[in-house]
Structure 1
Amino acid sequence: MNIVAFIAGILMIFAITTNTLSKKHLSDGFVSRSFSGYMKSSRKATNEYERYCFDNLKESVKSKQRTTADREKPSEDKKEKTREIHIENAKINIFQLVIDKKEKQKDTYNLIASLIKTLYSNQSFYKKGFEKDILNNILVAFENQIKKKQNLNFETLILKDGSLKNIYYKIIKGTKFYDFEKKIGCPSILDFVKVENSKEQIPMKDASKEFLITFFDKKITKEISALQIEYPPKNLTLQNVLSICQKNNLPIDENDLKLFDFSNSMYRSNEKTFVGFDKNTDIKCKIKLPVS
């Protein structure tokens, strides 16, 4: 018997067996990592849903406590039915600004900075340029949350500028009583801004006066507010808003209003998509869950 051929055969069998086991190990490892990535991204998506439900619960309670200047006093005379404006449904989303940076989202950056000025220009802590200082610090803090693979959350942000720490806490918390028109109290920025991985438009029918004044002006806001409380708000259309702007000599076109949703259905979609992402495996999980 040729001993060389025998040894060569044994080595070939060993090589084939080793190669098979190696491929199986790699395959098992890939399946294991994929499953782990899916479970992690699924958990993150579920966490987003739970946080959304919790935040909505807080906003619902807070909205009942807010005092509003435009709420009419009850009278004995029969009045036409009006709708209540739900500003908690009409927050501007900062998410894309956080991801793309202000260089690519200049319009969004300037709009949010202007909104901050509208909200806090009458507060004792306000000084010239405050809106950009605080917004820049917020964006940097969100970048740090991303680097640390944390969930994006206003309430857990750590600002780089320590001198803004107490002020940031105040604008996050707000005061129990707040009235924009009467300049009473301090608003919570969480009533007007959110960070959420979605591209939902702002429903015009629920946009706050603070946001409308920032985007348009006081005269136009007054006319839009009158259309908002109609039940249903059937006259709050894109064309009517453009006409109001034209009448008040504000140069604006349809592209400028893409931020807004002019759908005036009294009911919002009862489902929402939540996204989770595992950076270690680049696996993204989307889940659609019911919301109230």
Structure 2
Amino acid sequence: MTATLLIDSGTGPRRVPLHDYLDAASDERARQNSHRWIKAVRLARVDGEPFRRRFTLRGDSLWWFAELYLHKEQAILTMFRTIAAFDALVDRERPLAVRVVAGDWRTRRLVWARASARRIRFLGRPTALYGSALVSRARQRTRPAVSRAAIVAFVHTAFWRSDAGDGSAESYIGPVLRELEALAPGALQYVGIGPVRNFRARRWWDALRIHPSRAVIPIEQLAPASTLDGARRLWRERRRNVRSLLASDDLRRHSLINDCDCWPIVREELAGIALLQFPWSARAMDEAGAALDALAPDASLTYAEAG
């Protein structure tokens, strides 16, 4: 949370960093409130059904993927932290007027709404810029010759180092994979999930890069387009799903937090779930199923979000 406010308590305007007003205890409460808020979304009714039952793929709920998205994006956490910090600022400084001089549209919206609720003059206008981009990745068309593997390990491509050809190249569970290779030589096949680099370092052209290690088969090579029925369905339904989410009275009411209307922020997060997270998650499920069918392992191994 990085934002700077200009406040006037009657002795002249001065600039203050908003995060200075969030102490450790308030930050922890904001995190707990964020977790509870996100958990409660699963019970909100969408088209007459609880969220977790409204969105499914082959009988499996997609709620976990929505929950993961809300946690990873951290917009909800930032929302609670901003409200807590602003309330602490008001209690300490008793401002008559505030202006956001540095901060994104979410900060401006929240400060404006909270200032209005606490009868404090807001200088300027809250602005909101909405937008999202979908970048298509080039899929390798040649399917490698694959044979049955006793054990399949799904690993994050971005966390696989190119300086080693065995399981030790995996940044997180390398020691576990190395021991498995020692116990069962030749039995382990690695399947790479996701882009070559992590999301903070990612560039659009990474989709065209060669895979970092021959030891790893990109999951795309094991999942031809014909196996992506679930992903295609959720892609076709994405705009209808957005409309359903935005029409939910439960979600609209859930967005009123401490007399602060957070709907513009929540609305964008819900749209991201329907437009991006659901189709991407369905694709991951389809690809994993196709990879397991192609390799027919006795056991599979994965961890964290790679699963």
Question: Shorter-chain TM-score: which interval?
Answer: under 0.3
TM-score, normalization: structure 2?
0.25
TM-score, normalization: structure 1?
0.26
**Is the strand fraction higher in 1 or 2?**
2
Per chain length, whose mean CA-contact separation is higher, i.e. which structure has more relative contact order (CA < 8 Å, sep 6+)?
Answer: 1
